[in-house]
């Protein structure tokens, strides 16, 4: 089991930075990202926080990932819990400002996406497994043979529809996030020369096999 404290610290820092980027896009008040629409709708319906809704959704997605044969890492489980916790910490303590104009809202979205890109680079490069939602995208892509772009789009469309039905906020920001999200993430990755396909992840199944062999 080749793990190091540095990996877990990197994961936690990356998740916090990514959560801060998410909160900035929420505070833009122009409409939410697809998954956040669902999280907000669920939170308002059940009477829980956005972070708690994130954790609940992530839990069921992890179960689905495992059922479909997707490998998960310890980072996947930490992602499932800590990401929602960090969102609540940032939002409930008003750690980031809220946009009050259209222009400032657009700026919040662009900056938030850039922060998410760097946060993603930090926690994914820890090599402790993909996040729950990314894992679902990967396993469905492998099982169907369709492109990641198509699978990602279909998953997000389902999340938007379910979220809007539950009362989540769809708006101009939702469209802007969908259009510029990919290019901004790509820009962030290029500035740090990051290629996610070259990251070697450690999975829980590998650890269990190693334990069985040793026993």
Closest CA to 191 of 96, 120, 104, 133: 120
pLDDT beneath 50, residues of the chain: none
* SS3 category, 72: coil
Pair of tokens at residue 190: 């290029």
Alpha helices (H) along the chain: 5-27, 34-46, 50-67, 74-92, 102-124, 132-144, 148-165, 172-191, 204-214
Helices 34-46 and 172-191: crossing angle in degrees, nearest 10, is: 130
Question: How many residues comprise the chain?
Answer: 215
Q: What is the pLDDT of residue 10?
A: 93
Count Cα atoms within 13 angstroms, Cβ side, for 104: 7
Q: What is the pLDDT of residue 19?
A: 96
Q: What is the pLDDT of residue 1?
A: 55
- Name the one residue in this structure whose structure tokens are 């998953």: 155
Query: What pTM did the predictor assign?
Result: 0.89
Taking a C-beta distance cutoff of 8 angstroms, is the pair 201, 7 a contact? no
């Amino acid at each position: 089991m080749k793990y190091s404290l540095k990996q877990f610290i990197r994961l936690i820092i990356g998740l916090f930075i990514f959560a801060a980027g998410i909160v900035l896009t929420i505070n833009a008040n122009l409409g939410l990202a697809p998954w956040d629409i669902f999280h907000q709708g669920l939170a308002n319906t059940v009477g829980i926080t956005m972070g708690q809704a994130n954790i609940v959704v992530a839990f069921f997605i992890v179960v689905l990932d495992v059922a479909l044969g997707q490998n998960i890492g310890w980072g996947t489980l930490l992602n499932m819990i800590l990401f929602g916790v960090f969102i609540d910490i940032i939002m409930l303590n008003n750690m980031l400002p809220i946009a009050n104009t259209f222009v400032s809202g657009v700026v919040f979205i662009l900056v938030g996406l850039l922060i998410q890109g760097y946060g993603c680079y930090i926690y994914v490069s820890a090599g402790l497994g993909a996040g729950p939602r990314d894992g679902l995208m990967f396993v469905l892509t492998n099982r169907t043979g369709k492109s990641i772009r198509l699978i990602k789009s279909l998953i997000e469309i389902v999340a938007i529809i379910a979220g809007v039905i539950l009362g989540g906020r769809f708006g101009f920001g939702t469209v802007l996030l969908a259009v510029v999200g990919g290019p901004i993430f790509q820009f962030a990755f290029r500035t740090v020369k990051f290629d996610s396909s070259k990251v070697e992840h450690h999975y829980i199944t590998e650890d269990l096999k190693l334990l069985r062999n040793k026993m």
